[in-house]
Amino acid sequence: MAQLHRIIKLLVCMGFITAFLGCAATQKHESTGQYVDDSVITTKVKAAIFDEATLKTLQINVKTFKGVVQLSGFVDSPQSVTRAGEVAGKVTGVESVKNDLVVK
C-alpha cells in the first residue's frame, strides 16, 4: 500500500513538472501568460489604429511578441507610417514598435 502511494505521488509530481515546463517561456517561445498579454496588446493597438481617422486599418497588420509590436503592410504616405508608429507606441503594455510599413 505504501509503495502505491509513492508511485501515485511520483506520477502527480511528474505531471506538475510537465505542466509547468510546458508553460515556460524561452527566447523564441512565449509562456501562456505572455501569449495572452500579447494578444491583448495586439487588440488594443488595432483598436487605436482603427480610431485614428487618417489610417486605414485593413492595410496594417499588427503582431506582438513579448511586448514588441510589429507593424507591417502598405500605407498611402510617409506621414501614415510615422503616425501608425506613434499610435502603437502610446498603447499601454507596448515596450517597443518595429515599424515595417511600406508606402505604396
pLDDT tens-digit profile of 20-70? 666 555 655 667 677 778 899 999 999 999 998 888 767 899 999 989 999
pLDDT in tens, 71-82: 999 988 899 999
Which secondary-structure segment (H or E) carries 34?
Answer: helix 32-51
3 state SS of 79: helix
- Report the pLDDT value the prediction gives residue 7, as an integer from 0 to 100: 81
- 6's CB contacts (< 8 A; 6+ apart) are none
Which CATH number fits the domain 30-103, given the four candidates 3.30.960, 1.10.357, 3.30.420, 3.30.1340?
3.30.1340
Show me where the domains of the chain are located. Answer: 30-103
| C-alpha cell of residue 8 | 501515485
Tell me how many helices (H) and strands (E) the chain has.
3, 3
Q: Locate cell 500579447: which residue?
A: 38
Assess contact for 87 and 101: CB atoms under 8 A. Answer: no
